[in-house]
Structure 1
Amino acid sequence: MKNDSTHKPHDRLAAYLVDDLAAVADIIRDRMASKHAPRIPEVTAHLVDAGGKRLRPMLTLAAARMCGYDGPYHVHLAATVEFIHTATLLHDDVVDESAQRRGRPTANLLWDNKSSVLVGDYLFSRSFQLMTETGSLDVLRILSNASATIAEGEVLQLTAAQNLATDEGIYLQVVRGKTAALFSAATEVGGVIAGAPEAHVKALFDYGDALGVAFQIVDDLLDYQGHSTAIGKNVGDDFRERKLTLPVIKAVAKADAEERAFWTRTIERGRQEDGDLEQALALLQKHGALTQTQDDALAWAGKARAALDGLPDHEVRDMLSDLADYVVSRIN
């Protein structure tokens, strides 16, 4: 008898890929080991074992299986994707000075910034070792390009996040870099390793790209209207960290002089006082910024579903379509 949790697309996909995911977990455990530096597996295990959904590696496995792949290397690529993701999380928490990740203290809080940065570097190196084992230059090109794009997106965010001149176009560029690049690479390499036709590989890329954008928009929205227990971090963290995310960008675009002065003080200059978060929420509500942001997330989820139309019928394709809806259902 099926458990209720299998009604969620993510859990249905995990059940379908259960053997592949177990193989990915074995590779991750094996490759995060270090003979000479025991802190590496300590720090890595803290994040890897924290209960993340492993969404990105699942996308690689799902894409490969949907395209008829039955070789061993989709597992290597899924582990590669997870290592890249884990490395970026370790670095992000240092950059953002975060204290909580997935509902637990961050590695930089439990150890220190140096350990988080260096272990992140180790995981990036491990990911490149893994991807070369496939023997595919196309795979190496896609994942190495994604790694560079992620770093570029993070650096762009440093300059854009606290600048009220940042518009929705720049925001999308940041999101496509820091989040969607790994989603689209994860789905694309699944098709490539399976030898899928170019049109199918392009459809998988488009799906991952749109899904990644929707995922990040929802994350940014939940920072203002989620619950700490559900999102694994503190509500209002983006505001406190002075990140100009999509809801704020929309509110700033409609701000009068007094409201703009508020955003300038709190975001650009970083002079925040008691009650400012509540004031920010009131302005977001006043200008309908949260509802508009939700509409954007739904539109990107629709693009993800539409991209799947270019792929052959398969039960995994249906799960991926439902997954696009599930990603935005977190809003509720």
Structure 2
Amino acid sequence: MSVTQISPLEALSQVLAEDMGRVNALIRERMASENAPRIPEVTAHLIEAGGKRIRPMMTLAAAQLCGYRGDAHVKLAATVEFIHTATLLHDDVVDESAQRRGRPTANLLWDNKSSVLVGDYLFARAFQLMVEPGNLRALGILSNAAAVIAEGEVLQLTAAQNIATSEDTYMTVIRGKTAALFSAATQVGPVVAGAPEAQVQALFDYGDALGICFQIVDDFLDYGGAGDGLGKNLGDDFRERKLTLPVIRAIAAANAEERAFWERTIGRGEQRDADLAQAMALMARHGTLASTRQTALDWAARARRALDPLPDHPLKAMLADLADFVVERVN
């Protein structure tokens, strides 16, 4: 008789189920609005759409791993999810997205104004929540993350469609728009637990590496996957003229003719039916999907190593397994 093995994310979810239940209850409570019923309507559409809640789980896991006893980690985890949800609402407006997690986006169901303003409301709620534990350092970490996320999004906007964009700029963008919240989520756990500085740094480094890995995997799958069944199709980033790692590396290796192709399709947005296949062929010629896959695996290994200074604990092993789980999709 075969035994179905659950994923590291599901295992973590089961261990943290009680605390996550409290986080979800707090989210529902704080997304309410007596005066503007559209706020909970829009928020519920996204928050209850089946997201994995990986970021708040990381806050809970990091706090428990460092022996925390109390309820501040629940408020901080809810803060992390509110910041994440606010950025998704804003991102869908900026990207003119029509689907997220297999459902129509809020900006499509309502309008751009509602999405932006409800996102603003969630940011405000996040700041209210992060103040409540009374931990000034945790407040600094999360408020700084909110600023870095916005900075990363603006940098991505200014770098978009510029085929001179470098790998360094790409790393700055993904460290801002994705890794900043991962690292803040894991860092506030040991901070609120009063853990030694070595453990605080270890969990920051883990979250940073995992967030970078997470985004690189996502960018790889846009060309190396088969669509995720949740509204993202093969080549969406190409059609949206996003300069992700496989493309940046293909441009860096391009000859004059290939560079002219990238300038036309990404730089000027003059795309034809056969262009995605041509882009894939150029990436294959220069091995940029293979190198991007290896870079993702390297960041996953870095995330695992970052956990070394932490005490032995079942959650430590689960966080290490989570790093492997994130890159499973590229294997």
TM-score (norm 2): 0.98
Quote the residue 1:4 is aligned against: 4
| Paired position in structure 1 for 2:325 | 326
| 2:141 matched residue in structure 1 | 142
Pair 1:261-2:260 in alignment = yes
- Tell me the residue number matched to 1:14: 13
Which residue number corresponds to residue 55 of structure 2?
56
Contact 2:100–2:230 under 8 Å retained in 1: no
Whole-angstrom CA distance in 2 between matches of 1:53 and 1:164? 33
CA drift of 1:281 comes to 1.0
Distance 2:130 2:143 in 1: 9
The residue type equivalent to 1:73 in the other structure is: A
Q: What are the within-5 Å matches in structure 2 for residues 3-152 of structure 1? A: 4=4, 7-152=6-151
Report the alpha carbon displacement of residue 85 of structure 1 after superposing the two structures with TM: 0.2
Please tell me the residue identity of whatever aligns with 1:200.
Q
Structure 2 residue matching 1:228: 3-state secondary structure: coil
3-state SS of paired residue (2:222): helix
Verify the 8 A CA contact 2:100 2:231 in the aligned structure 1. yes
Aligned-residue RMSD, C-alpha: 1.4
Structure 1, unpaired ranges of 5+: none
Where do residues 203-214 of structure 1 align in structure 2 (5 Å cutoff)? Answer: 203-214=202-213
Distance in 2 between residues matched to 1:240 and 1:202, nearest whole Å: 39
What does residue 216 of structure 1 align with?
215
**Deviations, residues 170-216 of structure 1 (Å, cap 9, x unaligned):** 11010100000000000000110111111100000000000000000
Aligned to 1:240: 239
Q: Is the 8 A contact 2:191 2:200 kept in 1?
A: yes
Number of the residue aligned with 1:307: 306
Q: SS of the counterpart of 2:308?
A: helix
Structure-2 separation of matches of 1:224 and 1:189: 35
The structure-2 alpha-carbon separation of the partners of 1:229 and 1:304, relative to structure 1 and needing over 3 Å to count, comes to closer
Instruction: Give the gaps of 5 or more residues in structure 2.
Output: none
* CA distance in structure 1 between the partners assigned to 2:86 and 2:97 by the alignment: 15
Residues 2-52 of structure 1 deviation map (CA, whole Å, 9 limit, x = unaligned): 9835x2110100000000000001001000111011111111111111111
Question: What's the offset of the Cα at 1:271?
Answer: 1.1
Distance 1:31 1:271 in 2: 45
- Which stretch of structure 1 is more off in the superposition, 211-220 or 162-171? 162-171
1-structure distance, mates of 2:160, 2:60:
34
Q: Residue 222 of structure 1 contacts residue 231 of structure 1 at CA under 8 Å; is this kept in 2?
A: no
Q: Which amino acid aligns with 1:199?
A: A
User: Could you tell me whether the CA contact under 8 Å between 2:213 and 2:326 is conserved in 1?
Assistant: yes
CA–CA separation in structure 1 for the residues paired with 2:282 and 2:104: 31
Could you tell me whether the CA contact under 8 Å between 1:161 and 1:245 is conserved in 2?
no
**What residue identity is the alignment partner of 1:83?**
F
| Off by >4 Å, runs of 4+ in structure 1 | none
- Paired position in structure 2 for 1:194: 193
Q: Which amino acid aligns with 2:293?
A: Q
Which residue of structure 2 aligns with residue 274 of structure 1?
Answer: 273
1:307 and 1:328 map into 2 onto residues whose CA distance is 16
- Write the distance in 1 (CA, Å) between the matches of 2:195 and 2:177: 27
> Alignment identity in percent?
70
Distance 1:115 1:227 in 2: 33
Displacement of 1:231 in angstroms is: 5.2
Q: Which amino acid aligns with 1:180?
A: A
Alpha-carbon separation, structure 2, partners of 1:3 and 1:113: 47
Deviation of 1:224 after TM superposition, in Å, equals 1.1
1:330 maps to a residue whose letter is R
